[in-house]
């Protein structure tokens, strides 16, 4: 295990639903990330939090809303999603954030299906 | 255009055989390059990390090479096992930037 956990592991939701993805890291890191992974495509960075402040919002639609209440927890709130949002959502954490390149440790991901 | 290109997209090999995966990148200025292994239903896990001055690094049956001049890297799997079936992702970091550039991955299937 990498020390990063995600729940739920699988989620099926309708386009009108509201759901949240949860990520928790047990590594003492101070930066956390949300990525979207679609089939045959590179990982897409969505959001970055460093010391609980959002430092990156990569032109992500407003139907995705992140929340970082403390350095160990990260949420991704979902509402009125589209079928093309179906993907694997990965959370990662690292020792540092902006300005330095540290190894990122990934959680197992949440497989999201939007009907 | 993606700054990290991997080939082949997928390959099938017989158990016990060797294979080599390729990664070409344009990220600049270069900081380091990592190879990640991603098992089905799991997140990526780092296999190796290479900096500018390193040419070869091994992790068990995995050997990564780096040619910083041509901006190419390879991952060689020796004596493949069924557990090597996974997606292998090349990830490149630039200096002074936390953002990572990801390849689309190579899916390796090892058959008995």
Window 47-66 of A, Cβ < 8 Å to B = 48, 50, 56
Tell me whether residues A99 and B105 touch, CB distance under 8 A.
no
The confidence band for A50, taking pLDDT boundaries of 50, 70 and 90, is: confident
Q: Which of B43, B89, B103 minimises the CB distance to A108?
A: B43
The confidence band for A34, taking pLDDT boundaries of 50, 70 and 90, is: very high
Task: Give me the pLDDT at residue A83, please.
Answer: 94
Chain B: residue nearest A33 by CA? B99
Return d(Cα A48, Cα B2) in angstroms, integer: 20
Query: Which tokens go with A95?
Result: 């020792």
Tell me whether residues A31 and B93 touch, CB distance under 8 A.
no
Sign for the CA dihedral angle at A66, A69, A70, A76 comes to negative
| Cβ contacts from A onto B, under 8 A | 60
Residue by residue, DSSP assigns A67-105 as: EEEETTEEEEEEES--GGG-EEEEEEEES--TTS----E
Alpha helices in chain B (DSSP H): none
Residue A74: CB atoms within 10 Å:
27
Closest-CA distance, B14 to chain A, in angstroms, reads 23
Using the Cβ of B40 and the Cβ atoms of chain A, whether some distance falls under 8 Å is answered with no
Task: Give me the pLDDT at residue B28, please.
Answer: 87
Task: Give me the pLDDT at residue A99, please.
Answer: 47
Closest-CA distance, B79 to chain A, in angstroms, reads 25
Between residues A22 and A49, which one has the greater pLDDT?
Answer: A22
Read off the pLDDT of residues A85-95 as tens digits, 9 standing for 90 and up. Answer: 999 999 999 98
Read off the pLDDT of residues A54-68 as tens digits, 9 standing for 90 and up. Answer: 777 778 999 999 999
pLDDT by residue, tens only, chain B of 112 residues: 679 999 999 999 999 999 999 999 998 888 899 999 999 988 999 999 998 888 999 999 999 999 999 999 999 999 999 999 999 999 998 886 667 899 999 999 999 9
Using the Cβ of B1 and the Cβ atoms of chain A, whether some distance falls under 8 Å is answered with no
């Amino acid at each position: 295990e990498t020390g990063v956990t995600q729940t739920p592991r699988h989620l099926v939701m309708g386009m009108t639903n509201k759901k949240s993805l949860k990520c928790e890291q047990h590594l003492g890191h101070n930066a956390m990330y949300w990525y979207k992974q679609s089939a045959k495509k590179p990982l897409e960075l969505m959001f970055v939090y460093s010391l609980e402040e959002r430092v990156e919002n990569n032109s992500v639609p407003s139907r995705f809303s992140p929340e970082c209440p403390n350095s160990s927890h990260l949420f991704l709130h979902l509402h009125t999603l589209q079928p093309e949002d179906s993907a694997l959502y990965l959370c990662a954490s690292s020792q540092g954030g902006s300005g330095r390149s540290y190894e990122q440790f990934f959680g197992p991901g949440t497989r999201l299906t939007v009907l | 255009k993606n700054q990290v290109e991997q080939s082949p997209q997928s390959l099938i090999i017989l158990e016990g055989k060797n294979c080599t995966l390729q990664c070409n990148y344009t990220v600049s200025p270069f900081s380091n390059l990592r190879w990640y292994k991603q098992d089905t239903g799991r997140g990526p896990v780092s296999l190796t990390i290479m900096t500018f001055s390193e040419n070869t690094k091994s992790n068990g049956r995995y050997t990564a090479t780096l040619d910083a001049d041509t901006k190419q890297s390879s991952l060689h799997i020796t004596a493949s096992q069924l557990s090597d079936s996974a997606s292998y992702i090349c990830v490149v970091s630039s200096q002074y930037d936390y953002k990572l550039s990801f390849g689309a991955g190579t899916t390796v299937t090892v058959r008995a």
